[in-house]
Amino acid sequence: METPLKLLGTIAFVCAICVHLAFGAEALVRYLGVGCVLAGGHAIITRKVPVGLDGQPPSGQLRGAFAVAYGLLIGGFGLFMLFNAQAASCVLGWSTHC
């Protein structure tokens, strides 16, 4: 299962670079906003979020209400990025039009 997820992550990363180069920073912010909304929805539906150090297997999981709260937070940030791309790119420091 790890290999398909790594491949999907690599494809998403390459697509993000292509979106930024072709359409600019605001389009990239919208693209990342969609990813945040999807990640938040996944956390809310499964009610599990693995946590741990990067590069290591997860040392634990957020479950139940904590996972839902995480999903709502990430999803809300994603909606902000999706619908307010110019403001979000300013917050992230990616725009010179602030």
> Which pLDDT value is given to residue 6?
85
What contacts 84, CB < 8 A, 6 or more positions away?
none
pLDDT single digits (tens) 63-86: 999 999 999 999 999 999 999 999
Range of the domain at 34: 2-91
Residue 97 is assigned to a structural domain of this protein? no
pLDDT single digits (tens) 16-67: 999 999 999 999 999 999 999 999 999 999 999 999 998 888 999 999 999 9
What's the total number of domains in the chain? Answer: 1
Can you tell me the mean pLDDT for 9-17? 94
Provide the pLDDT confidence category of residue 1 given band limits of 50, 70 and 90.
Answer: low
Residue 7 is assigned to a structural domain of this protein? yes
Give how far the C-alpha of residue 86 lies from the chain's centroid of Cα atoms, to the nearest Å. 17
Residue 98 is assigned to a structural domain of this protein? no
Residue 96 is assigned to a structural domain of this protein? no
pTM attached to this predicted model: 0.85
Cα angle for residues 96, 29, 56 (degrees, 5° grid): 120
The length of the chain is 98
